[in-house]
Amino acid sequence: MHFTQGHMRRSNPRSRALQKNQSLLYWLGFWLTLTACAFYSTASAGTGDSKEFRQTVDLNKDGRLRMETYKGSIKLTSWDKNQVEIYARIEPGDNVSSQYAVESVEATKIDIYGSGSTVTIRSDYDDVPSDRSWLFGQSRNVPYVHYEIKAPRTARIQIDDHKSEISISDFSGTILVESYKGIVEAENLSGESIFDSHKGEFRLTGIRGNIEVNNYKGEVYLSAEKLDGRSRLETYKGRIEVRLPKNLAFTLSADIGDRGDFRSDFEINQRRDWRDDRDDYYIEQEINGGGPGLYFKTGKGSIRLIY
């Protein structure tokens, strides 16, 4: 029996390997294309619908305004009315699908409680659903809430935040801000001001009243025209920079750990070591004849006192 060469052709091993590699490359390219498309669809969905909220409520001139929010921004300014004017804009979080952007914004609410002596403003995310994605699994990405608020100049302000950008200006009442890693800018504050953060940033200018700052490992920049009472600034391993008028009279105290760094433009000549076998030390110094107390403390951060 006679067979032609075409009937008896045997497969070339190199040809089979090449075909296999081409198949793998095809499926790899297909998967990467799907991934890129899915990522593009998710990342570009941040233009989903937003919504706005407006309300005005009565607040006594020495009343208490309390805010609870998670992320976004707060612009808080003073006026001479015994009212709180509240404007909020709710926008989708980053890298969410178009459908989830709409659903999450719609589910986010602004809660307002009380009037007169106390008003509470709260970003309410309780009804925001989880986002389900075949690529990234299940997650909950809450929207941004951007506030613009006017309150009585002498009101007592309390803000509880996670990572918002916060601006506060022109108040003479007590200010308390707690933010995990937000950025806080405050100016022209003449009452008692208390700021607390884990790794956020504080930029404080035109401060005239006494102040207390506790920042675990973030940054603090303070410019004060005068000090009233005792002011206290602490960081464990962050950075503090304080600028005061060259002729300001105050009493400096500083508790510096063995890995901390303290430097001052004001002359310091009274330093006491805690122990001979360690590098930590304490400073007690009257500057320009002494006056209101200014206290620093750090474990292994840096402190700069400049004029």
Residue 82 φ/ψ, nearest 5 degrees: -90, 55
Angle at 100 between CA 54 and CA 146, to 5 degrees: 30
Identity of residue 47:
T
Return the residue matching tokens 């601006």.
167
| Residues 6 or more apart whose Cβ sits within 8 Å of residue 65 | 59, 84, 118, 119, 121, 149, 151, 155, 156, 157, 158
| Residues 6 or more apart whose Cβ sits within 8 Å of residue 175 | 156, 157, 168, 186, 189, 191, 192, 193, 194
Confidence (pLDDT) at 35 = 40
pTM, rounded to two decimals:
0.81
Q: Where are the domains of the chain?
A: 13-45
Confidence (pLDDT) at 36 = 38
List the alpha helices (DSSP H) in 63-122: 98-107
Tell me what the mean pLDDT of segment 112-121 comes to. 97
Tell me what the mean pLDDT of segment 81-104 comes to. 94
Confidence (pLDDT) at 37 = 39
Check whether 133 has a pLDDT greater than 70.
no
16-52 pLDDT per residue, tens: 554 555 555 555 454 444 343 333 333 333 344 899 9
Q: What mean pLDDT value characterizes the chain?
A: 86
